[in-house]
Amino acid sequence: MNKRLTINVNSEIGKLRGVILHKPGHEVENMTPENAQRALYSDILNLSVVNEEYKQFEDVLNHVTDVYYVKDLLCDLLQEDAIRKDLVNDILTAERAPQYRDELLDMTPENLCNTLIEGLPLKDNSLTNYLSKEKFALQPLHNFFFTRDASVSIWNNVLISKMANKVRERETHIMNSIFNHSFSARVVNSAKGITPNYCMNIEGGDVLIASDNVLVIGIGKRTSTTGVDNLISQLTASKDRTWHVIVQELPDSPESFIHLDMAFTFLDEDRCMVYEPLILKRNKYQTIHIKIDPDGSKKIETVENLVSALNSIDFDLKPLYCGGRKNSWIMEREQWHSGANFFALAPGKVIGYARNSYTMEELSNDGFEILSADKVISSSQYPTDYKKCMVALEGSELARGGGGARCMSMPVLRDPL
């Protein structure tokens, strides 16, 4: 790729101009009930059904914006000898597997790209390998189609995440290489220069860009307080404005709360989707407002809730409720299946799962037109014809992977609001 692509994301809802996706592939099939938990799944997925549903998702995005694919970007980079060697060395050093260096570097760029994502099978060429219960020398990247997590565009920066689980670390090496060589942006690498045991974790699903000086960040099993402190110190060094960071504590369980965007997402300039029991009701999970003044001084305080904190700094957000307003059990069920996890195509135009019927009813009652993803793809319906709309995506199998439309998309360019 000769021309470097621009990065600029100043909000969660500005009109989408570019997004990175990764189509689920054989790495999803390279999982068994025995290793699913290590792969961070509670169940194994049916790839043929996943592919059908994912095609609908990517076709909608191809219909409204420029789409870049991880495999295409990676394969381009691997044509360059120096980049290929650096990336392979970084990965094998991190995974303590230098013995596979020559084997990987002897592959064609296309085969190496597939191997880095789908895994390197373990050869039965020794007694140890023959008796091993492992199928792979380098594990497949089962979670890579959730492209949001390993990197995140923040203004004209790209944050390379420090993943909480070793099984996802290779994703960050791949995205680091892609952003360093194919995009025009300041790359902030959370893992660079820290000791392996230091818990400075941060993942993209926990980082929401509210405006050009406001971030909303979740802390829990995937993002640590030290990870947030590190991000704040790197991104707020500019002394030209007052910065605000709203931090929301998340439960350790159930696993549906792995990231903040499973409980809170922006829908429009004046609307957000919330899982009410966590975001609005009184509970033991704190919401903390960090204000950083131009002179570097900080004010840190606990506030009532996330929405009121944003509204206290000139937002005017009305929360809509994941699962509706009538039944806490329905709220729990729909939150579990990513009912709060929406991805904005433009202000007031979002995409999410059709299976969450009570959440869709909540949107409809607020004036959002519910559009069929297939009709958007066929140009029978146009999101631009509506002031507010939700594109309803089939997601019975995708949702079982533990993420929604925001999790599966990594925007790189949005129009400013």
Q: What is the DSSP code string of 342-400?
A: -EEEETTEEEEETT-HHHHHHHHHTTPEEEEHHHHHTTSS-GGG-SSEEEEEP-TTGGG
Interval 20-47 mean pLDDT: 75
Task: Report how far residue 1's alpha carbon sits from residue 79's, in angstroms, rounded to the nearest whole number.
Answer: 10
- Residue 44 structure tokens: 């194994």
Taking the model in full, what pTM does it have? 0.93
* Mean per-residue pLDDT over the chain, rounded: 92
Interval 215-225 mean pLDDT: 96
Interval 62-85 mean pLDDT: 97
Of 92-101, 186-195, 294-303, the least confident: 186-195
Interval 138-165 mean pLDDT: 93
Q: Distances in Å between the alpha carbon of 332 and those of 263, 325, 362, 391?
A: 11, 12, 15, 22
Task: Report how far residue 178's alpha carbon sits from residue 415's, in angstroms, rounded to the nearest whole number.
Answer: 22
The dihedral formed by the CA atoms of 245, 249, 252 and 255, expressed in degrees to the nearest 10: -60
Interval 174-186 mean pLDDT: 92
Interval 350-361 mean pLDDT: 97
Domain boundaries, the chain: 5-76+141-414
pLDDT band at 5 (very low <50, low <70, confident <90, very high): confident
pLDDT band at 4 (very low <50, low <70, confident <90, very high): confident
Say yes or no to pLDDT of 32 above 70: no
Task: Report how far residue 147's alpha carbon sits from residue 408's, in angstroms, rounded to the nearest whole number.
Answer: 5
The answer to whether 177 and 75 have CB atoms below 8 angstroms apart is: no
Interval 255-284 mean pLDDT: 96
pLDDT score for 208: 98
Nearest partner of 289 among 331, 320, 318, 247, judged by Cα? 247
Say yes or no to pLDDT of 41 above 70: no
- Residue 347 structure tokens: 């202000």
pLDDT score for 194: 45
Interval 298-323 mean pLDDT: 97
pLDDT score for 210: 97
Interval 339-361 mean pLDDT: 98
Task: Report how far residue 194's alpha carbon sits from residue 350's, in angstroms, rounded to the nearest whole number.
Answer: 38
The class of domain 5-76+141-414 in CATH terms is alpha beta
